[in-house]
Structure 1
Amino acid sequence: MPSLPFVRCPLARSIAALIPVTAVLVCATASAQEAVNNDTLVVVGTALKVDTPLVETPRPVSSVDREELETRNVQQLDETFRYRAGVLAGHYGSDNDTDWFKVRGFDQSTYQDGLRIYREGFYQWLPEPYGLERVEVFKGPSSILYGEAPPGGLINAVSKRPTDTPQGSVNFQLGNRNHRQVGIDTSGPAGESDDVRYRVVGMYKERDGDLDNTDNERYYFAPSLAVDFSEDTSVTFLASVQKDDGVPVNGFKLPYGSIQDTPFGRVSPQSNVSEPNYDRNKRTQWGLGYELRHDFNDTWAFEQDLRYSELDLELRSTYALSMVDDRRASRGLTLRDGKADSWTVDNRFVGNWYTERTENTLLVGVDYQNLGLKGQEGDDYAFGAPIDIFTPTYGNYTPFADEDLVERHIDKEQTGVYLQNQLRLDDRWVVLGGLRYDHAETENTNVTAGTTERSDDNQLSWSGGVMYLGENGINPYVSYTESFEPIAQSDSAGNLYDPREGRQWEAGVKYAPIGWDGYVTAAVFDLEESNTLVTSPAGFQVQEGERSSQGFELEGVGYVTDDLKVTAAYTYTDSRLEDDQRASLIPRHQASTWLDYAFTGGALNGVTLGGGVRYVGESVDGDTQVGSFTLADAMIGYAFAEGWQAQLNVNNLTDKEYVASCDYWCYFGESRSVIGSVSYRW
């Protein structure tokens, strides 16, 4: 959603068409490795923080790798999972200062390289897609291993890392909305030996926002270094710095003029009712950390991940608040100036041992998270004169006075101890169990008023699952998971929210046929959250009652032929509040299909075609219904010389005008995006 105050049957035929082409699901995770067995690609990784084939784990994980990020030319993190099940994105339109996801009907946490990225209030750390190797979504409560997280799941962005072999690329892009980008990525051994390896990723891009008079400029630089001290010990150092400077996209449209008719017609989706000459979003973020791996012997290993990060923010953000007559709306202002810094560290011991009938993996870990946020804030709910939403004119306002700012400090610490054991019996059964204890302390101080709110929370969480490994490659499973999430935010009265807690039951099946390159997954789930946050009729976030979500997901990714790759997904989600009212924003039905076809001979040799269709069903906001919509995307690529590739990507091919969702405000979906690129690899 754009920066805001914390206020917050054709389908049947489409589903039938999805089922035959859900050929495979290629699941990759934080340290994915590939092995070929019986001509089938087997991908293992660390969804459970231990190397395990994901088709043999009773947990749902989806992944988008580097190749797909480039094929679809993903520009923002929340574009990643447009063709995956269980994830809703784009419901607030195209934002230029925040990534927005809903997973299984809930907000999610974002991690980078397995460590928490803090996003408190408007202090949002934004991973740059150009610097990522892949992006993963862990569906359902994931607190057992990854600490605090909302019940819907978490997003994990995996950074590019040094490679054993020399390689590199340069990339140039031009597009509509004055899009310009140049990037470089080079990696390989630092000397004659491959014991020390480096990678340097750098990028510059700028683009106008999807609203009039908005824009953003970004600089990104990410060096990394991997060192093998011995056969048993290695360290990978990861660093990044990113600077954004622009005018934020405030896509808040009132129902009047967006989904409701007026005597003056509808407002333009690109209409901007903020103050472009006053609004600004300046963000500088940097992080430095490492990943340590040490093998004691054939049984035990120690792993440690650590990162320190800082984010400096200067934000002025004006938005429409309510109609005052049939043409004009009052406006509000959000102002934030401050800095957030955080330490995160995860320590774990991994043990593996075997008997004639069993394979056992034990994981014991301790993690620690520390967040400090200091800054000035101001909220004005009568900012300037009302503005004409049909023909806005700017400049009729008085800047926010410094003496009206509030100084706020938020300090948060959390320590978690976790234990997980995975037992494989007779190569037919996988039994997974885990527990976690968390202690979290949060202190929210209004320095100006001299008041402090404190919370001291303790939580014991459980998880478990059983899977049967069928001889025919069909692996059914059932699992139970819990989540725990302290909230370092305060309500409109300045009081801290209580921690959110989640519980989920899930049953599913993962299909991995021998000789077929890929996977198919299907799952049903029943998810509940207590102490949930909802948007009040006045537009503020309040904490009340419970929220539930039940649903079904079907997803597949893989090759139907040697030249044709298919990605397909279907999601059914019934998300409800405690009074049995449907939750805002969440559609019941989503479906998507993307096809990639590579010509490998003849006159079209070197040409790659791609295209997709995304369907999002109707959603609600109380008694207001938001209609469904269908969007088409396309790409064409051409390898025209050794190492050279040209590509054209078009999202929202028909430039369809639609309202993506409503939640007090309404949000138009992103307009057509056209980007051409040329790259060279060596």
Structure 2
Amino acid sequence: MKQKTLSTLSLAVWLALNSTAWANDVQQNDVQQQELDTVVVKSSGTMFKLGEVPFRQAKSAVALTAQQLQQEGVQKADELGRYQAGFTNQPFGSDTNTNWFRIRGAEATQAVNGLPAFQYGFFTPYTETFGVEAVEMTKGADAMTFGAANAGGLINYISKRANREQVGKGEIRANVGNRQQYGLAADYSGSLNADKSLRYRVVASARHAEGEWQDSDNRTLYIAPTLQWDIAPQTQLDILSSYQRDKGTPSSNFLPQEGTLKAFPDGSHINPRHNYGDPKNDTESNKQFSLGYELKHQFGKGVSFNSSYRYSNTQNFHRGAYLYPSAYAADWSPLEPSAAGYTLSRGVVFNDGKMQSHSADNRLNWQFKNAWLNNTLSAGVDYRRQKVDALYTLFGTTASTDLRNPSVGYGQNQDVSSAPRTHIQAEQLGFYLQNQARINKLITLGLGIRHDRAEQTEHTRTQKVKENHTSYSGSLMYHAPAGFNPYISYNESFRLPVGLGGNDVLYDPAITKQTEIGVKYLPKAVDGSLSVAAFRAKDKGALLSKDLGATVSNPSMVERKGAEIQADVNVLDNLNVGLAYTYLKSTSQDSTGNTRNPLLPKHTLALKTAYQFNEGKLNGLTLGAGMRHVGSSVSSQGSLYSAAKVPSSTMFDLMARYDFAKNWQAQINVDNVANKRHVSGCDYYCYYGQGRNVNASVSYKF
């Protein structure tokens, strides 16, 4: 790997020294990239602090618009990576109340409007996709942006907010679908004065959907008023707020390996619709509220100041029964459920409490330009403070159930009286300095350093942990002729996970070091883009799920490496083709050697296409299709079927959109058209992937 890194660096330097003959080509490449910039750049709510366009960054970064999410039929946030390289999508299946993200084989950090969202158990934020304007994603380690970041990468939701171009415009959308899906949403922007310097926007939605499991469901109410004020020509203030309430019967996707990964003795499998929780007793209510601001000021001569702050408050009540992963012998060795009369014990997970968090980020940017240099320097400080106060247990008790007749477990007493109080306070202060230099329009050099001071206290058990950590980043991209841009980058991530592990001890710090090489290509001949990336990462202190789902800090080093190919090409003016391929190898290193990590397929492939009719009777009609192939993975070592192969699966999606009148649009999406029963992954449990999902919508935009 070291030789490959040096070879790539030598190639970039050689190309720089031989750049004169290619000046015209580079200039044309700049024009192409400038056109690309206008499509994806958003100045408000972005997490890209240096103002970089995702495709021009020397790392794997992507931006998706609300229109792209709508075309793909994204309803749950964790569906947005289905056609993106690097993603392991919904490894625990489609949950009614949780978004499951894995990028490059590790968890990703979620953020809203450039500030990280608090993530801890049932206090992880739900995201209403109708309220999202765009989604930014960075794949892989990145400590520079937020400091405390998961090793998989970053996902930033940019919420719809008031802006001058939107005044007087709005949308009303209604949707229906299978499994009792229905909803109504509205979006409107207006002005509070004649010169439109004070603007408002209100986004609201209400919807209902049943879960994959019988009698599970979720009802969501969302409203997000925002205000934007042009205080002066150089100063703008955004006030952002949102309220969301989710209520329903939660799903519990945890299933035994026998009956899913392998058939029962009679050759049958567990029905994906069977509910092995207790829909008569299981319940969840989640309320989340946020209020914050974004302030931008231009001092002139390239100097600008950005300040942002958000307060979040979440109240959660969750009670849900779940199956044990297998039957057990007297020595607690796992047994197949069929050997125990198909009867499995159950536990109850219970959470009742609230979370409060404060996040702030303040930075100065200085952009300097001359004939040969375009340089941006960013210096800032961010701070976050989080507090959790809740009753929580994974080990409530209830009656056993029968895998062949789950209703025998309904309406049984659930005892969660032993749930201990968890009272955690976490703080982190970070200082960062980043610089990006574009030299002679041929080379972009990026450097970054960040220092974080993190502290966490668990008051009930009188535990405390402190960690000071310095992270580094560096990157080099060469802007070669014909849109060919090779790059190399090094990034780190750091996080002190909030919460108590399954051993009732605060987590260890999680630190990742990653090297990436790749090429980004903007071809002249066609309208589109192609990116290829290869990475290698080592994780220390990664979180590991054990036995009944309890999480602990992994004592072993985790090594991940892989390659990704992403293409998006307009083959014709009205024909688009997309491809996303991922190769991933993730192993844990311990005294016994390398063990392959569960839930993570080595190969995934997604293809999609969309054709738009632009003349004749079919004018305004767009037809789309997609294919998603998920390769084989393995189950956990020590589970019932230890390190067993989880077979691959292939699903097909269809889409049709029709602009049938002025301002009117109808769309239908069908995911997993064949309703293929498939196992999305296994650890100690197994998880069924999403079945057929049909959703139709009609919208009026004005």
Decide whether the 8 Å contact of 2:528 with 2:568 is kept in 1. Answer: yes
> Any unmatched runs of 5+ in structure 2?
1-29, 328-339, 638-642
- 1:535–1:401 Cα change, 3 Å: closer
Give deviations 1:158-179, integer Å, cap 9, x for gaps. 1012232321110111111010
Instruction: Give the letter for the 1:337 counterpart.
Output: D
The equivalent of 2:10 in structure 1 is none
**Distance apart, 1:589 and its partner CA:** 0.5
Say if 1:332 and 1:380, in contact at 8 Å, map to a contact too: yes
Report the number of matched residues. 642
Tell me the distance in 2 between the aligned counterparts of 1:271 and 1:436.
Answer: 49
Structure 2: how far apart are the matches of 1:263 and 1:94? 28
- Cα distance in 2 between the residues matched to 1:363 and 1:379: 44
Amino acid aligned to 1:340: M
Structure 1 residue matching 2:144: 3-state secondary structure: helix
Q: Return the match for 2:438 from 424, 434, 443.
A: 424
Judge conservation of contact 1:40–1:515 (CA < 8 Å) in 2: no
**Compared with structure 1, are the counterparts of its residues 250 and 522 closer, same or farther at alpha carbon in structure 2 (3 Å cutoff)?**
same
1:559 aligned onto 2:570 = yes
Residues 165-184 of structure 1: pairs in structure 2 closer than 5 A = 165=165, 166-184=168-186
Residue 540 (structure 1) shift: 2.8
Contact preservation (8 Å) 2:325, 2:684: no
> Retained in 1: the 8 A contact 2:429–2:453?
yes
Aligned to 2:151: 151
Q: Deviations over 1:451-503 (max 9, x none)?
A: 21100110000000011111221010100001100011212231111110000
Q: Distance in 1 between matches of 2:474 and 2:436?
A: 10
Q: Counterpart of 2:125?
A: 125
Determine the structure 2 residue equivalent to 1:455. Answer: 465
Q: 2:583 aligns with which of 550, 559, 572?
A: 572
Is the counterpart of residue 474 in structure 1 residue 509 in structure 2?
no
Match of 1:600 in 2: 614
Q: Is the 8 A contact 1:509 1:522 kept in 2?
A: yes
Tell me what 2:242 maps to.
240
**For 1:216 and 1:636, how far apart are their aligned partners in 2?**
26
> Aligned match of 1:640 in 660, 683, 688?
660
Contact kept? 2:402, 2:409, Cα under 8 Å: no
Range with bigger deviation, 636-645 or 496-505: 636-645
> Is the contact between residue 173 and residue 181 of structure 1 (CA under 8 Å) also seen in structure 2?
yes
Deviations along 1:100-125, whole A, 9 cap, x unmatched? 01010001111011111111022121
Cα distance in 2 for residues equivalent to 1:199 and 1:343: 24
The residue number in structure 1 matching 2:24 is none
Return the alpha-carbon distance in structure 2 between the equivalents of residues 639 and 102 of structure 1. Answer: 35
**In the alignment, structure 1 residue 651 sits paired with structure 2 residue 671:** yes
Query: Do the aligned partners of 2:150 and 2:495 also contact (CA within 8 Å) in 1?
Result: yes
Q: Which position in structure 1 is the counterpart of 2:415?
A: 400
In 1, Cα distance between the equivalents of 2:114 and 2:197? Answer: 24
Secondary structure of the corresponding residue to residue 232 of structure 2: coil
Report the CA distance between 1:397 and its aligned residue: 3.0
**Superposition pairs of residues 82-161 of structure 1, within 5 angstroms:** 82-161=82-161
CA distance in 1, matches of 2:681, 2:316: 28
Q: Is the 8 A contact 2:393 2:416 kept in 1?
A: no
Alignment of structure 1 residues 242-261 onto 2, 5 Å: 242-261=244-263
Q: Give the aligned partner of residue 541 of structure 1.
A: 551
**Is 2:536 the partner of 1:521?**
no
Give the TM-score normalised by the residue count of structure 2. 0.89
Q: 1:321 aligns with which of 320, 324, 339?
A: 324
Deviation at 1:391, TM superposition (A): 1.1
In the superposition, relative to structure 1, how do residues 126 and 378 fare at CA in structure 2: closer, same or farther (>3 Å)? same
Which whole-Å CA distance do the structure 2 matches of 1:649 and 1:596 have between them? 13
1:272 CA drift (Å): 0.7
Residue number in structure 2 paired with 1:305: 308
Deviation of 1:542 after TM superposition, in Å, equals: 2.5
1:233-288 per-residue CA deviation (whole Å, 9 max, x = no partner) reads 00111111000000111011100111122135211011111111111110000101
Using the TM superposition, give the Cα deviation of residue 48 of structure 1 relative to its aligned residue in structure 2, in angstroms: 3.6
Take 1:571 and 1:189, find their aligned partners in 2: how far apart are those partners? Answer: 46
Q: How many angstroms does 1:370 deviate by?
A: 0.6
Query: Are 2:682 and 1:680 equivalent residues in the alignment?
Result: no
Q: Which residue of 1 is the match for residue 376 of structure 2?
A: 361
- C-alpha displacement at 1:597, in angstroms? 1.1
**Distance apart, 1:537 and its partner CA:** 4.5
Distance 1:401 1:420 in 2: 49
SS in 2 for 1:122: helix
Is the Cα contact below 8 Å between 1:226 and 1:236 reproduced in 2? yes
1:484–1:500 contact (8 Å) kept in structure 2: yes
Q: 2:507 maps to which residue?
A: 497
Give me the whole-angstrom Cα distance separating, in 1, the residues matched to 2:283 and 2:272. Answer: 21
- Matches of 1:270 and 1:132 in 2, distance apart? 31
DSSP 3-state at the match of 2:69: helix
1:270 is aligned to 2:277: no
- Would the alpha carbon gap of residues 96 and 355 (structure 1) be closer, same or farther in structure 2, given more than 3 Å must change? same
Instruction: Compute the RMSD of aligned alpha carbons.
Output: 1.7
Structure 2 equivalent of residue 59 of structure 1: 59
Letter in 1 for 2:386: L
Residue in 1 aligned with 2:36? 41
The secondary structure found in structure 2 opposite 1:296 is strand
Aligned partners of 1:491 and 1:53: how far apart in 2?
A: 38
Contact 1:271 1:390 (C-alpha < 8 Å) held by counterparts: no
Task: Report the identity percentage.
Answer: 34
Distance change >3 Å, CA 429–CA 38, structure 1 → 2: closer
Quick one: distance in 2 between partners of 1:401 and 1:289? 36
Secondary structure of the 1:144 match is: helix
Output the CA distance in 2 between the equivalents of 1:229 and 1:479.
40
Distance 2:630 2:221 in 1: 34
- Checking the alignment, whether the CA contact within 8 Å between 2:513 and 2:538 is kept in structure 1 is yes
Q: Which runs of 5+ in 1 are unaligned?
A: 1-34
Q: List, as ranges, runs of 4+ consecutive aligned residues in structure 1 with deviation greater than 4 Å.
A: 35-40
The Cα of 1:514 is off from its aligned counterpart by: 4.4
Q: State the distance in 1 between where 2:535 and 2:508 align.
A: 25
8 Å Cα contact 1:172-1:182 kept in structure 2: yes
Q: State the shift of 1:54 in Å.
A: 3.4
Report the CA distance between 1:437 and its aligned residue: 0.2
Tell me which residue corresponds to 2:360: 345
Residues 290-313 of structure 1: CA distance to partner in whole angstroms, max 9, x if unpaired? 111001112211001110010000
Greater alpha carbon shift after TM alignment, 554-563 vs 604-613: 554-563
Provide closer, same or farther for how the CA distance between residues 245 and 355 of structure 1 changes in structure 2, counting only shifts above 3 A: same
Query: 1: distance between equivalents of 2:617 and 2:307?
Result: 52
Is the 8 Å Cα contact of residues 565 and 581 (structure 2) preserved in structure 1? yes
Please show how residues 178-257 of structure 1 align to structure 2 within 5 Å: 178-257=180-259
The answer to which structure has the higher helix fraction is: 2
Give the superposition deviation at 1:386.
1.3
Question: What corresponds to 1:669 in structure 2?
Answer: 689
Aligned AA (2:573):
D
* SS of equivalent residue, structure 2 residue 320: strand
Aligned 8 A contact 2:47 2:156 in 1: no
State whether structure 2 residue 604 is matched by structure 1 residue 590: yes
Deviations 1:600-644 (A, max 9, x none): 101211111111000110000132111000000111111111111
Query: One-letter code of the match for 1:331?
Result: R
Larger relative contact order (Cα-Cα within 8 Å, sequence gap ≥ 6):
1
**Contact 1:631–1:653 (CA under 8 A) maintained in structure 2:** yes
What amino acid maps onto 1:588 in structure 2?
K
Specify the alignment match of 1:24 in structure 2: none
Q: What is the CA distance between 1:316 and its match in structure 2?
A: 0.1
